[in-house]
Amino acid sequence: MITSRRLDASTHSSFDAHEQVVHFNDTALGLDAIIAVHNTHLGPSLGGCRIYPYAHFDDALYDVLRLSRGMTYKSALAGLPLGGGKAVIIGDPRSIKSHDFMARFGEAVESMGGAYITAEDVGSSEEDMISISSTTTYVAGLPQTDPASDGVAGNPSPVTAYGVYCGLKACVKHVFGSSDLKGRKVAIQGLGAVGYALAQYLTKEEARIFVADIHPAVLERAKSEFGSLLTIGDVSSIHTLDVDIFAPCALGAGLNDRTIPEIKAKIIGGAANNQLAEAHHDRLLVERGILYAPDYAINSGGITSVGYEYFDRTGRNPYPYPLTRTRMNDHVEGIAKTLEKIFSLAKSEGIGTGAAANQLAEKIFKAAPSSAQVRIEASNA
């Protein structure tokens, strides 16, 4: 049986006026989860379910509060009528998961009454979403069941990669005057679901890629696929290479006091969430003359994908067009325009691009528009 208890996280350092933080337990199944809803001004909160063996409950709480807040900012900037929320399950995904376990987590999601919609994240898969969908409809990232459909469904990672690719082209144009990637050097940290797909987009345009990953198998695959366009780098020094772009696609907090002085790239843009270890690192990047594409602005392809899928499946299309894959790709390509707005605001205000992105996102979600149309205009402006 699942039990729930509302947490008062108001004194927590990462609390940012979260609307709800709920702790769920099922001792028989070993389920220990937290769902945090940061903000629902723009719509129900949508964010992935992270399954991770946190050493302490407080580490899990810290993560879910930061991640759910990030989702509010991400969806707002992406022009989606969605709020920010996230779930974490404490445990090793390799041993803790089963159909019943994930279905029980679905009951936790269901009990939030639609304030929170779940999807994939680190440690959770499409298969898990299917289990979750046996107990709640508040779930996205489900696989496509109709092969003939042009609708959006499934693992959002390829769409995230497409968005990062579009965003990087905008960055290259901003810095070098042309969005052509041929011959540009890009260091990719982490060749996982997003990093690998990004490498495919970049090499199609004959960019030269330098990659590092802790898993040798993925590097072997890359060697045979990318040939002479690929150079294998070292995990500890991939960020120091003399390249045009550094693309963090592994872990968060990679931009910090130690790494920033070592970065030679003119541009930083990648999929990883929470790349800046602390807010002041935004300023440090400006001082080093590095153009930083704020993580939640450039990696919003994934939330756009699961958002479109959810709107479609539940018959709640907020847009005046059908929710096809083509329309979704058009929407994701809007990341380039959003980044240009961020860069221009940062320049005019003399602030970092991270601070500029925050300003733009807050303007959207704090205004609490009353109709989806306003939000669509925000995304197309």
Catalytic residues: 86
Number of Cα atoms under 13 Å in the Cβ half of residue 21: 23
Asked whether 281 and 260 are in contact (CB, 8 A), the reply is yes
Specify the DSSP class assigned to residue 144: P
**Measuring CA to CA, which residue among 257, 312, 11, 302 is closest to residue 160?**
302
For the bound state, the minimum distance from the C-beta of residue 297 to ligand NAD, rounded and expressed in Å, comes to 11
Burial 52-76 (b: 16+ CB within 10 A, else e): bebeeeeebbbbbbbbbbbbbbbbb
Told to check if 302 binds ligand NAD by CB under 6 A, we report yes
Told to check if 255 binds ligand NAD by CB under 6 A, we report no
Instruction: Report the residue number, 235 or 381, with the smaller CB distance to ligand NAD.
Output: 235
Told to check if 60 binds ligand NAD by CB under 6 A, we report no
Told to check if 275 binds ligand NAD by CB under 6 A, we report no
* Alpha helix positions (H), 237-371: 281-287, 295-298, 301-313, 325-333, 335-349, 353-366
Q: Which residue has the tokens 């070993």?
A: 30
Instruction: Report the residue number, 16 or 126, with the smaller CB distance to ligand NAD.
Output: 126
Binding residues for ligand NAD, total number by CB under 6 A: 26
Phi, psi of 25 (to 5 degrees): -140, 140
Q: How far is CA 270 from the centre of its chain?
A: 10
CA distance 320 to 318: 7
For the bound state, the minimum distance from the C-beta of residue 352 to ligand NAD, rounded and expressed in Å, comes to 20
Told to check if 273 binds ligand NAD by CB under 6 A, we report yes
Instruction: Report the residue number, 272 or 328, with the smaller CB distance to ligand NAD.
Output: 272
Q: Which of residues 189-248 bind ligand NAD (CB under 6 A)?
A: 189-195, 212-215, 218, 235
Told to check if 72 binds ligand NAD by CB under 6 A, we report no
Kindly tell me which residue out of 61, 207, 243, 249 binds ligand NAD, with binding defined by CB under 6 A.
249
Q: Which of residues 135-194 bind ligand NAD (CB under 6 A)?
A: 156-157, 160, 189-194
Instruction: Report the residue number, 214 or 381, with the smaller CB distance to ligand NAD.
Output: 214
Instruction: Report the residue number, 126 or 180, with the smaller CB distance to ligand NAD.
Output: 126
Q: Which stretch binds ligand NAD (CB under 6 A): 38-46, 256-264, 271-279, 308-316?
A: 271-279
For 162-193, give the secondary structure using H, E and C. Answer: HHHHHHHHHHHHHHHCCCCCCCCEEEEECCCH
Instruction: Report the residue number, 214 or 368, with the smaller CB distance to ligand NAD.
Output: 214
CA distance 138 to 166: 30
**Measuring CA to CA, which residue among 135, 133, 134, 130 is closest to residue 155?**
130
Kindly tell me which residue out of 2, 29, 122, 277 binds ligand NAD, with binding defined by CB under 6 A.
122
**Contacting residues toward ligand NAD, per CB under 6 A:** 122, 156-157, 160, 189-195, 212-215, 218, 235, 249-252, 271-273, 299, 302
